[in-house]
Chains A and B, each alone.
Chain A
Amino acid sequence: MKQPGAPTDLMSAEGISALASGVLAGRKASVAKALNLVEDRRDGSRRAVGALLRLLREQSDGSSHRVGLTGPPGVGKSTLAAALARTLRERGRSVGVVAVDPSSVRSGGSLLGDRARMGFDPSDEKVFVRSLATGGEAGGLSWAAPAAAQVLAAAYEVVLLETTGVGQTETDVRYVADTVVLVVQPGSGDVLQFLKAGIMEIPDLLVVNKADTGVLAERATSDLRSALASAQSAGLGEAMPILATSATERRGLDELADALDAQRASATDLAAHRRRGEVAWTLQLFRRLHGRHGVETLGGDAALEAAIDEALDADAPPTICAHLSERYLATVGRRESPGAKATKETQP
């Protein structure tokens, strides 16, 4: 295995080490540069990213809280993320935000419009917002989102990760976030649909946003409570806190911030959870490169997961993926074109 901070063709070991120090110190220019790096798709970047993430993991205390905000389009996730970030700032916490928006299937381009409505103070050194495009990934996240979340987690106390809101396939956020918040709006039948689609196992918290209209919002919340109760008695889902917020009227945000703190405090298996997330992420990275054939060649899902889990002691996912890639290519004895996407598969 390579040493941490090993030189790559993209960056020197010293460069990566300096970058990591900048990120840990919360310097915006460094955080921005690190995010540019983790978004880099060139083959040569994988080891640099791996080295950087490993340094960040070693040198930070892992105390940052990674919160995923998911839910269908139009429920006001961006506005909620902005309002929540503001509440957290008022409590003196530093906040990093990753907002993911879909890419156009036709052009590959995207419009990342969320930022405009967040309206943060540009001179505030303790809030950082990065928009990412899905780049054609399913699962509601960008392929760079897991690494981006790790970078931000090294620099800020709370990381908010907002998914695209494609709805029923947003399961990826589970392995990136410590706490998943499902956001719905009053009067929508979303929750029951999610239960049926098997999404309801995900959230740790349920938020009814746009609860701007007192009585109606209360009714929506109580409707949800009873729907949830009947679903639970049928064996679906677990009990979870339900909160009502109004991002535009700034209501319910303190309660949400408290609930998130409570979740974080009561999480007993956080390290194991993050480890499982990194295994899943590594496997997905590998599968994107080499498809089902790659997984089968290296012994199938279970064997690969075990190998990855072991490798995580020493390395970060992008580096492990690079090693697995080498192993695979040596096994099949031929070189694939770099970054081949023809065999790309998506997570179930």
Chain B
Amino acid sequence: MPDRPWIMRTYAGHSTAAASNELYRSNLARGQTGLSVAFDLPTQTGYDADHALSRGEVGKVGVPISHIGDMRALFEGLPLEEMNTSMTINATAMWLLALYIALAEERGDDIAKLRGTVQNDIVKEYLSRGTYVFPPGPSIRLITDVIAFTTEKVPKWNPTNVCSYHLQEAGATPVQELAYALVTAIGVLDAAKARGDIPAERFPEVVGRISFFVNAGIRFVEEMCKLRAFTELWDRICRERYGVDDPKLRRFRYGIQVNSLGLTEQQPENNIIRIVLEMLAVTLSKDARARAVQLPAWNEALGLPRPWDQQWSLRAQQILAFETDLLENEDLFNGSTVVEAKTQKLIDEAWAEVERVLEKGGAVAAVESGYVKQALVESNAARLRRIEAGEQVVVGVNRYEEGVPSPLVADLDEAIMRVDPKVEQDQITALAKWRAERDQGAVDAALKALKETATGDANLMAASIACAKAGVTTGEWAGTLREVFGEYRAPTGVGGAQVSRSEGDTVKQVRAELEAVAEKLGRRPKMLVGKPGLDGHSNGAEQIALKARDVGFDVVYEGIRLTPEQIVASALEEGVHLIGLSVLSGSHLELVPDVLKRMDEAGLKDVPLVVGGIIPDADAARLREQGVARVYTPKHFALDTLMGELVELVAERAG
């Protein structure tokens, strides 16, 4: 009997709840079989649209959901009992699940029938994705509160989706991806067990509800072996650490999004081929096949994808599942000595790293100490070095760069999605109206109960659902918990990372130029690197910071989630010669001019500002007109050359 096709999803959501609802309906009509909700950054980090940090981010990388009214609009006409809904939400996962459950109850649905996933994995947020809010202790409590609640009330729900996806995006090798995801799962399960409120006989079900969200890169043979290694190692952990007897509960259940890190800005049409090959890694082997697949779009390195771009990726899935004979076959690789040897090697190396992290006190301790982050930063630096040196071939980037221009990107500004800037103001207006019309007494009482529960030990789900029903907003829910739990900043991992051992002539030359500028200035050129706005993808900024140090800059690395005020205050106090900002969320046109204006007011007009990120050409031109000295995009992968330009910029101003 042919295998059932996997669940096909498209990570989607933008502008408003109503617009996203329309998008979901059309995606389902085109044969998509599950929903994957993308939330905007304010929703992910627990702010309302009218918060200072939300500026420029509302509706950009996902849908803004502030309260149950937005949730109603998002799922208008979609039967919740029949949906399989995946929500990419972490620090505020409990809140979005509470809104979803409140909506289901309001509609008279049986919440025991709800199926879906909240990502709810905080470790990779600290390491890579950056939408964390609370310190590790309270974060783990929120995760296990959700686990305890769904085990009892929503048994088909996946309460946490352990992500190795973002670790690979941060530069993880296959061994690191395996090891750090598995120790994360162990950390969550150990914490769930330690709570003591989940009956021992139900614990195997808890283990069985743990699902994973994995990445697959272009080395698809090795990646497939990685998935087979995952399957074996997870089975081992379930058996040996948690004593799960039922093999069904030990299955490595995973969803996948293939690699975005390797998608190129140069010759972007090639990306669809990369995406298809990467999909093979997670579908070819029946024993290690994904349960749900979502694919990125070919033009992600250029800007936000349009519905057509996402549809193209969905078609790739449909052709593989329905046209080819793949699903008619049993596992193609059982008995293959090559696959087995590769898999075994990954298993052994990953297990050794798992044990190393467990010795260090487990996933959370290894995150807090910076151990894991530093390992990832070093791996990513090594990867970039290999590409720059041509040792790792990337077609169209460091090999076969010449070619006929692609008609797909003839009009670059049309080849991406634009979110109407009006969306932000509309959301703010709607929010004010919502606040004015709701029963404030009920809101105050619900928030008071939430705060009291947070101060004690009881499960926070019930209080959160009560907040949802009372009309509390995302910012109010998270703000109340921020008051109790405090706010966290994760280690950046750049401080201790090793300087590159192999250095090209460019680096030596840039270093010499920098020394000359230092003589002239009287002190070493100092650069500030940071990320304005709510976008937490810090991998690019970290690599720039590291490289700048390696050519001799004193680098003030400011990390993520900075307001323009903070950036300018730091630049002034630190006396920097250069500011470098990284923006990947598409909010550059709102945030960067604000920084420039404030620099002007602080008397820092002479300090050059450079910007890096996913920035369309037309936007780059506008930024330069407003005074940005340089704009860098993914096609500027040659960091040595880039550093040379930065030193030149400082030299020019030094006179």
Give A contacts to B, CB under 8 Å.
28-29, 31-33, 35-36, 39-42, 45, 74, 101, 103-104, 106-113, 115-117, 119, 122-123, 128-131, 133, 135, 248, 250
Contact = CB atoms under 8 A, between A and B. Distances in A.
29 contacts: A28-B573, A31-B573, A33-B575, A39-B523, A41-B523, A42-B522, A107-B550, A107-B551, A108-B511, A108-B524, A109-B549, A109-B552, A109-B554, A111-B546, A113-B494, A115-B558, A116-B530, A116-B559, A117-B489, A119-B487, A122-B566, A122-B569, A122-B570, A129-B573, A130-B573, A133-B554, A135-B524, A248-B486, A250-B486
Nearest to B548: A109
Contacts, number: 110
Contacts of B566: 122
A31 B545 CA distance: 26
Nearest to B368: A248
A40 B492 CA distance: 29
The 8 closest A-B pairs by CB, nearest first: A122-B569, A40-B522, A116-B559, A109-B549, A42-B522, A122-B565, A109-B552, A36-B575
B461 interface: no
Given A39-B575, A111-B494, A250-B486, 13 more contacts: A32-B573, A33-B575, A36-B523, A107-B549, A108-B552, A109-B548, A109-B551, A109-B553, A110-B549, A110-B554, A116-B492, A122-B569, A129-B574
Nearest to A78: B495
B602 A74 contact: no
B642 interface: no
Nearest to A33: B575
B584 interface: no
B570 A28 contact: no
B616 to A, nearest CB: 29
B559 A104 contact: no
Contact of A115 (B545, B548, B556): B556
B212 interface: no
Nearest to B549: A109
Given A104-B499, A116-B557, A128-B573, A111 B549 contact: yes
Interface in B478-509: 486-487, 489, 492, 494-495, 499
B650 to A, nearest CB: 13
Nearest to B492: A113
Contacts of B552: 107-109
B526 to A, nearest CB: 8
B495 A111 contact: yes
Given A32-B573, A104-B499, A113 B549 contact: no
B572 interface: yes
B568 interface: yes
B429 interface: no
B135 interface: yes
Contact of A131 (B515, B556, B602): B556
Nearest to A37: B522
Contact of A112 (B522, B550, B555, B568): B555
Interface residues of B, number: 41
Contacts of A112: 554-557, 574
Given A36-B575, A129-B573, A107 B499 contact: yes
Contacts of B556: 112, 115, 131
A101 B495 contact: yes
A284 B36 CA distance: 64
Given A45-B522, A115-B570, A248-B135, A109 B565 contact: no
Contacts of A129: 570, 573-574
Interface string B533-564: 00000000000011011111111111100010
A32 B575 contact: yes
A113 B494 CA distance: 8
B403 interface: no
A131 B572 contact: no
Contacts of B523: 36, 39-41
Given A45-B522, A111-B549, A28 B572 contact: yes
B191 to A, nearest CB: 16
A207 B575 CA distance: 32
A4 B554 CA distance: 32
A164 B134 CA distance: 28
A133 B554 CA distance: 7
B369 interface: yes
A115 B574 contact: yes
Nearest to B546: A111
Contacts of B108: none
